[in-house]
Structure 1
Amino acid sequence: MKPETVQSILADRVERHRESLTARWEDVPHRVRDPISVPEYDFPTTPDDIFPWVSVCFVVADGRVLLVQDSGHSSVWEPPGGKGEVRRTSKRASDEHREQDESHESYSETARRETREETGIECEITGLLFTETLQFDYGESVLISVLQAGFVARRVGGEIRTTEDAIEEAAWLPISDLPDGTQFEAEIGSLAPSR
C-alpha cells in the first residue's frame, strides 16, 4: 500500500475508535501529541502492521497512584500501559480444516492486562480520563496515527511485583507529591481527592 493510503486508513481508525470510546464512557479531553521519531522501524506496509492502540491505566487508592519506572522510556515515572494485542484462537472445524478467528482485546482490557503484567495489581476500570492521538514519524512524507486512551481504575487485588524485564520498579506514589519528570502529571493531579 502507498504510505498515504496507510496513513488515511489509520487516521480514520483513530476517529472511529475515539467515537466508540466516548460513546461507551463519556466525552473526555483529546489532544494530538507531537510526532514521535521512530526511524529504526520500517514504515508499516498495511494498517495491520502496527499495533491497534495504546492504553494506560491510572490506578488510584487513598490519595496515591500506581506508577512504574520503565527502562525503555524517558519518563522517570509513568502509569502502567502498553499496546493493544490481537488475540488469535484456532477453532477446529474438521480434522482437515482449521478456521482462524482474530479479534482485538478492548482498550480497557489492554489497560487491565498491562497493569497486571507490569505491576501485579488487579484493577477495575472506572472511567475514561482522556484520549490522544500519537503520531509516529518513520522518516516518510506522512505520519502514522494511533489512538492512546487513559483510564482511571481502582485496585481490586494483587500485590506489587515486577516481572517484566523493562519495568525497573512499581510503586504507589502520593498524587500531591509526584517526582519531577512524571508522565501525565497534570492528569494524575486531576485525580487528587477533594478536600
Structure 2
Amino acid sequence: MARRIDYYDDPDAPPANSIVPSVNVVVVNDAGDILMIRRSDNDNWAVPGGAIDRGESLPQAAVRETREETGIECEITGLVGIYTDPRHVIYYTSDGEARQEFSIVLTARPIGGRPTPSDESREVRWVPRDQVGAYPMDRSMRMRIEHYLADTGRPHIG
C-alpha cells in the first residue's frame, strides 16, 4: 500500500521535488465538534483535504475533498491560515514525490451528508473540540487545528 511520510526539519528527509497547492478544511458542526478522518495512507488523524485540481477554485476543492473523504457536504465559512514551511516535506512512497508543504486551511459548516469512510479515510467522526488533542496526528496537522482552536481572529501565515 502507498504510504505518506511527513518529515519536519529532518536531515534524513528527501529533498522536495514538487510543490502542490492544497487545502484542508476544519468543518465544525452546531455542537462545536470537528470533522476528523483517520487517513488510510499513514493512520494519522487529520481534517479532510487534498490537492487543488486544475480548473477549480480553492473553495470548490475544499468542498470536493471534504465530500470525497468524509461524505459530508459543507459550506466554506472562513480562513484559518496558509502553511508553506519548506522544512515540512511530505513523501509519497507510491511515486517518490516529495512535496514542500503548501496548504491553505479553511473553515466550514456541514450542510448535508453523513460521515462515510472512503479510500482515503479509514474512519470519519465528529470529535469534540476538547478531545482532539488525544488523537494521534502529524505535528503540522496538530498545529493547524491548534491555530483554529486559538481563534485569534487573524489567519496564520507561515
TM-score normalised according to structure 1 size: 0.56
Query: Aligned in 2, Cα 1:144/1:113: closer, same or farther, shift over 3 Å?
Result: closer
Query: Aligned in 2, Cα 1:125/1:65: closer, same or farther, shift over 3 Å?
Result: same
Q: Distance in 2 between matches of 1:114 and 1:132?
A: 18
Aligned 1:99-178 pairs, distance under 5 A: 104-135=55-86, 136=89, 145=100, 147-162=102-117, 164-178=118-132
Q: Is the 8 A contact 2:90 2:100 kept in 1?
A: no
Partner of 1:63: 32
- SS at structure 1 position matched to 2:84: strand
Q: Is the 8 A contact 2:36 2:47 kept in 1?
A: yes
Structure 1 segments of 4+ aligned residues over 6 angstroms from their partners: none
% identical aligned pairs: 31
Query: Aligned in 2, Cα 1:180/1:160: closer, same or farther, shift over 3 Å?
Result: closer
TM-score normalised according to structure 2 size: 0.68
Partner of 1:84: 52
Superposed displacement of residue 151, structure 1: 0.4
Unpaired runs of 5+ residues, structure 2, are 1-6, 92-97, 152-158
Partner of 2:146: 186
- SS at structure 1 position matched to 2:147: helix
Q: How many residues align?
A: 128
Q: Is the 8 A contact 2:90 2:101 kept in 1?
A: no
Q: Distance in 2 between matches of 1:137 and 1:73?
A: 11
Query: Aligned in 2, Cα 1:117/1:134: closer, same or farther, shift over 3 Å?
Result: farther
Query: Aligned in 2, Cα 1:137/1:177: closer, same or farther, shift over 3 Å?
Result: closer
Superposed displacement of residue 190, structure 1: 2.9
| Matching residue within 41, 52, 58 for 1:72 | 41
Unpaired runs of 5+ residues, structure 1, are 1-32, 45-49, 87-103
Q: Is the 8 A contact 1:125 1:151 kept in 2?
A: yes
Amino acid at match of 1:109: Q
Q: Distance in 2 between matches of 1:137 and 1:117?
A: 21
Q: Is the 8 A contact 1:129 1:151 kept in 2?
A: yes
Aligned 1:35-46 pairs, distance under 5 A: 37-38=13-14, 43=17
Q: Is the 8 A contact 1:115 1:122 kept in 2?
A: yes
Superposed displacement of residue 166, structure 1: 2.8
Q: Distance in 1 between matches of 2:110 and 2:61?
A: 16
Query: Aligned in 2, Cα 1:38/1:74: closer, same or farther, shift over 3 Å?
Result: farther
Superposed displacement of residue 107, structure 1: 1.5
Deviations 1:60-101 (A, max 9, x none): 0112000000021363x1100001112xxxxxxxxxxxxxxx
Q: Distance in 1 between matches of 2:25 and 2:56?
A: 15
Q: Distance in 1 between matches of 2:136 and 2:148?
A: 13
